[in-house]
Chain A
Amino acid sequence: MRVLNLLINGDRVEVAAPEHWTLLEVLRYELGLTGSKQGCDKGDCGACTVLLDGKPVLACLTLAALCEGRAVTTIEGLLPAHVKAGGTGPDPVQAAFDECGALQCGFCQPGMMLSARALLDRNACPTRAEIKDALAGNLCRCTGYTQIFEAVELAIARRIGIEPAPRAWEAQRMPADEAERRAREFAEARERQKEPR
């Protein structure tokens, strides 16, 4: 066993854990912070992403014994940090993921949001390509990523005070009058076909 002093989500925490435990095991099984997910557990999927001194790392490959004195941010820490910084409600990234439906099963979402948070902390206005690069280490098997990228872009648009780009489903949605016009044309064409020549 080893006694560790960690700064978890802004709180000084003293925790005893077996020497060979990973940071993810300490977070989930000693501290009860189960927001960081145990997916592949070998560094492929990114579900266990946490911020270590502000940078996204994989908690499943990080030895807890080597985190002595370091600052760890998990998904549980985003809302309190936002409120402490003078905001209200969840972190803007969390709010944007919520509004854009950037999840289905939700398993990848904590890691995804922490990677996005770290990106926005170092780059106020990233491009779609930079967002893709920053989230490349977080795999999602449900959404196809589109809503996730849109959520990050919505959070950026809000922060810099501009209108967000139309979302893919909005851009692809047909206006009601256009749909009605096409339906009428189609019906008329069928009627014409039925008429004897």
Chain B
Amino acid sequence: MLRLPNFEVRTPERLDEAVALLAELGEGARVIAGGTDLVPNMKHELFTPRVLVSLARLPELRGIGDAGPGWLRIGAMTSLADVAADARVEQHAPALAQAAGLVAGPQLRTMGTLGGNVLLDTRCQWYNQTYFWREALGFCLKKDGTLCHVVEGGSKCVAAASNDTAPALMTVRAELVFAGPDGRRVTPIDDLWIADGIANKKCGRDEILVEVRLPHSGSGHRGAYGKLRDRGSIDFPLLGVAVKLELNTEDAVADADVVLTALQARPVRIKRASELLRGVRIGTEAFLAAARGVAEQAHKQAHPMPNIPGDADWRRAMVPVYVRRTLEAAATRAGPVHAV
């Protein structure tokens, strides 16, 4: 049995009230959305806030709709199940719909929110453990300790970014809207990340993610998500691959993007993906060859750490396989790639 430490729950009904509450309480408060990441972490005493500020009653954070011409907005409190099932998300960002539909299992997708998945804490098998377990090893860099158990003598935390939706949002150049004490700020999701496992996001403790905005896509947009995990039903990714292809009227690639997750502290964009695929028509031998080229490049860039389940060498060997399969799936609208 895992008991939660003591805390108090606040349920503000206005966004400015919630922001003010966070500013007033400072370090002693944390935001709770779906709770599917926060609650297990609190049960493991990774966080022991005095107050939890719930976003459940803030209407601005809900729903999927238009955000001005050419943009789709998804409220941060929209459940992953709703994101996965929404026809507009499927139309404008198929990789996002597929990624949201592969997060954990059905109950957790009903509870968990898009905002929560974007702001998911990094994961490491030396960190996501009970207090008793962590104490027995003298703790670690990320929490309460000074040693890294993954990299001998390491001074930088390498806990892995494990959010499925983040790479998918990066491929469609999504923007995040935060509300804070100084008003709202809009940031491209690419600018959110820091390559540091302790805190891999530039987001203040008194800021609340309000919504995610996606640009509308044209008829040539193709996207897919590939996910490697041990148990197909419930696990975090051992590797996540998000792919975007923009096709011209001749079905040739005009632009492409490939972003991987679960390899290091932040999602990784594969270099030269667009360059390698540009001008190649889908469904041809040349496309398969170009996809293999991108897969090779991904293999060069991928250096998984032995800090999440699955042998690190095997996870690295799976990188080119999943990149190639996900590119092919995007081209033929056959995603997601999920073998288990």
Contacts and interface: CB of A to CB of B under 8 A. Distances in A.
Interface residues of A, number: 29
16 contacts: A41-B1, A41-B2, A43-B104, A46-B107, A46-B234, A61-B35, A61-B40, A63-B35, A63-B54, A66-B9, A66-B11, A66-B35, A115-B107, A136-B232, A137-B106, A137-B107
Interface residues of B, number: 29
Contact of A63 (B32, B44, B233): B32
B318 interface: no
B4 A42 contact: no
Interface in B1-57: 1-2, 4-9, 11, 32, 35-36, 39-40, 43-44, 52, 54, 56
Contact of B36 (A61, A65, A136): A61
A57 interface: yes
Interface in B265-321: none
Contacts of A139: 233-234
B65 interface: no
B105 A137 contact: yes
B7 A61 contact: no
Nearest to A40: B2
Interface in B129-166: none
Nearest to A48: B107
B111 interface: yes
A20 B78 CA distance: 24
B119 interface: no
A138 B233 CA distance: 9
B151 to A, nearest CB: 27
Contact of B108 (A2, A18, A137): A137
Nearest to A25: B3
Interface of B: 1-2, 4-9, 11, 32, 35-36, 39-40, 43-44, 52, 54, 56, 104-108, 110-111, 232-234
A42 B43 contact: yes
B106 A133 contact: yes
A16 to B, nearest CB: 15
A42 B2 contact: yes
B43 A21 contact: no
**B4, B5, B35, B107 interface centre (most CB from chain A within 10 Å):** B107
A20 B4 contact: yes
A86 B104 CA distance: 37
Given A44-B234, A66-B9, A136-B105, A57 B56 contact: no
A22 B43 CA distance: 11
A22 B4 contact: yes
A49 interface: yes
A134 interface: yes
Contacts of B105: 46, 136-138
Given A61-B35, A66-B9, 6 more contacts: A19-B8, A43-B39, A61-B108, A63-B52, A136-B234, A139-B233
B111 A62 contact: yes
A134 B11 CA distance: 31
A151 interface: no
A168 B40 CA distance: 38
A66 B111 contact: no
A26 interface: no
Contacts of A136: 105-106, 232-234
A56 interface: yes
A38 interface: yes
Nearest to A134: B106
A58 interface: yes
A38 B1 contact: yes
A167 interface: no
